[in-house]
Structure 1
């Protein structure tokens, strides 16, 4: 995983939705790494939150998840930076290309994105056991 304090972690949309389940994604990573990395949220993640909000407008739970994810980002705005790279692509492809370009880890629980990242040589971190455990995998 490396021990560089300059490590960048690119946070995927689905990780932010775990805030609803009383999980603090940034602190989970900080605790796991034993230092605070640089967190990044892709511009398209905000677009994806808006898309999910429109798609699930009749789901109170999903609306609450999205609202809490946005509130969480506002509360911790000093912890992360917005990044806008490859925004002409779909969200997952843009996240992959951004991670590759800047040598970031991707923090996601999306199975398809995890597999694409590993196949593309990108290191990932993800949650297991209802968010109690964080794991990392490096590409082989």
Structure 2
């Protein structure tokens, strides 16, 4: 949802890598966007952020691929297991997920203030 703050996450990553990485978005993450949209339908700010995030993903749909593995698990568990199985890096600002990823030796990338890319376990 960082696009709401005028931060382009795909572009930030592309600037840091010497190649164009493949982006994957878990089906459960997309489902969470829909759930949050309905849950916070009375909050203009949150629904605006969610709408912009969905529109961003639609505009850049050729840049990413949906992945649907371990979908019987809670979202964070599914992300961790999928990342381990496929050797992926998780791009998140969720503090709890970042800590769990570190404990499970899953590489992470996150955004700091002003859209600065912060990495953990991965040199970019």
TM-score interval (norm. to shorter): over 0.9
Q: Residue in 2 aligned with 1:18? A: 2
Q: CA deviation at 1:54?
A: 1.4
TM-score by length of 1: 0.84
Cα distance in 1 for partners of 2:100, 2:71 equals: 18
Please show how residues 38-53 of structure 1 align to structure 2 within 5 Å.
Answer: 38-53=22-37
Select 1:91's aligned residue among 65, 75, 80. Answer: 75
More strand by share: 1
Stretches of structure 1 that go unaligned for 5 or more consecutive residues are: 1-16
Cα distance in 2 for partners of 1:70, 1:112 equals: 23
Q: Residue in 2 aligned with 1:135? A: 118
**Cα-Cα RMSD:** 1.1
TM-score by length of 2: 0.94
Cα distance in 2 for partners of 1:120, 1:87 equals: 19
Q: CA deviation at 1:129?
A: 1.5
Please show how residues 1-140 of structure 1 align to structure 2 within 5 Å.
Answer: 17-131=1-115, 133-138=116-121
Stretches of structure 2 that go unaligned for 5 or more consecutive residues are: none
Q: Deviations over 1:64-87 (max 9, x none)?
A: 111111111111011000000000
Runs of 4+ in 1 over 6 A off after TM superposition: none
Q: Deviations over 1:41-76 (max 9, x none)?
A: 000011100111111111101111111111111110
